[in-house]
Amino acid sequence: MRSAIYLAILMPFFAVFVQCAPLPLEVGTVYGHDDLYDQTIVPTDFNGATDHTQASLANVHAAVNEAHNQIMNIKKMMDENHPDLHAHLTNAFGPNYNKEEIHKTINRLATGKIDIAQTNAPNDEGNETTNAIAKHSSGAQADRVVFYEKFHRKTLDAQAGTVIHEATHALARTKDHFREDPNQPGKFEAVSSKHEGNPGVMKAYAHSEHFDHLKTHASEVMHQNADSYMVLAHTVKHGLPQVHQAANSNANPNVNAPSSSHPVPNADIHHDAPGSAHPPENAHAYNAPAEAHHAAHPPAAPAGDKKKGCCGIL
């Protein structure tokens, strides 16, 4: 029986191969028989590779657990209408954000689960800079995420950002690219990664040159942007830049929260871009006074570290 790893970002289950605290991971099959638990994971064959290893699986477990905590912090803020919520949402989605749709996506992340096809895929030709991809295939019974070797060289916080990004692709069908709506002048629409490189198509990664422009002019549809949720999770955990902080508010509202690639036929594949809204590889940069602005725009990827293929996981 072909088995795979399922993520459940809300309800914690005891995770196979991971000792200590329960993590929000569940083992089942790609056909949805969630009651069928197995002490052995038989990895899904994806492009000829079957490489679930205990070490890479443990890394994914830890990243999903951290992503779960960050999502629950956001959910708490939204459920309780925290005083800083407007500032966080404006910073991540722009001033005319769709709060209802954002809340729906956060709830999907808090309760959903996706299929992980691989935990340590090779960064071979065409995927040299890829951290992870989410694949939505027409008619598939489960969305699939593949983590690459490069994912395991990131900090835990950055890995959690990758998880959140790809989760929005898999569970909320978010996108990484936008363009002006040809049928509504002055309005924007989210488009599939297969449109990347076409005239007028803009990348919506937090480090892209278009991110601020899109937040200003396409805010009404930025709830469909995957990287905006990573930015939101980042600021909720680490605090807003001073310019966005509400008067007399808690700049780090989670302190009171509970702890806890290329397009293919009939499919969209979303890549985690090297320059997307993950925290820097150097975790200490968060505490540096000179980095007070980091929450709005985490450091960009080094020059030349370009994303290959389409777009930017869970």
pLDDT over 90, % of the chain: 36
For the record, the structure tokens of 295 come out as 């929450």
Q: Give the pLDDT confidence of 58-76 residue by residue, as tens digits.
A: 888 889 889 989 999 999 9
H or E segment to which residue 58 belongs: helix 54-80
Mean pLDDT value across residues 226-240: 95
Mean pLDDT value across residues 156-167: 93
Task: Please tell me the predicted confidence (pLDDT) of residue 244.
Answer: 57
What is 3-291's CATH superfamily?
Answer: Collagenase (Catalytic Domain) (3.40.390.10)
pTM, 2 dp: 0.69
Q: What residues does each domain of the chain span?
A: 3-291
Mean pLDDT value across residues 106-112: 89
pLDDT beyond 50 at 37: no
For the record, the structure tokens of 38 come out as 């197995």
Cα distance between residue 24 and residue 19, in whole Å? 13
Cα–Cα separations (whole angstroms), residue 252 to 122, 191, 258, 303: 37, 33, 13, 31
pLDDT beyond 50 at 109: yes
Q: Poorest-confidence range of 24-28, 88-92, 282-286?
A: 282-286
Q: Give the pLDDT confidence of 238-281 residue by residue, as tens digits.
A: 998 765 555 445 444 433 322 223 333 334 555 554 444 333 33
Mean pLDDT value across residues 105-122: 85
Supply the DSSP string of 296-311, one letter for each residue.
TSPPPPPTT-PPPSS-
pLDDT beyond 70 at 284: no
Q: Poorest-confidence range of 17-31, 133-147, 173-187?
A: 17-31
Task: Please tell me the predicted confidence (pLDDT) of residue 78.
Answer: 96
Task: Please count the helices (runs of H) and the strands (runs of E) in the chain.
Answer: 6, 9
Cα distance between residue 147 and residue 237, in whole Å? 24
pLDDT beyond 90 at 156: yes
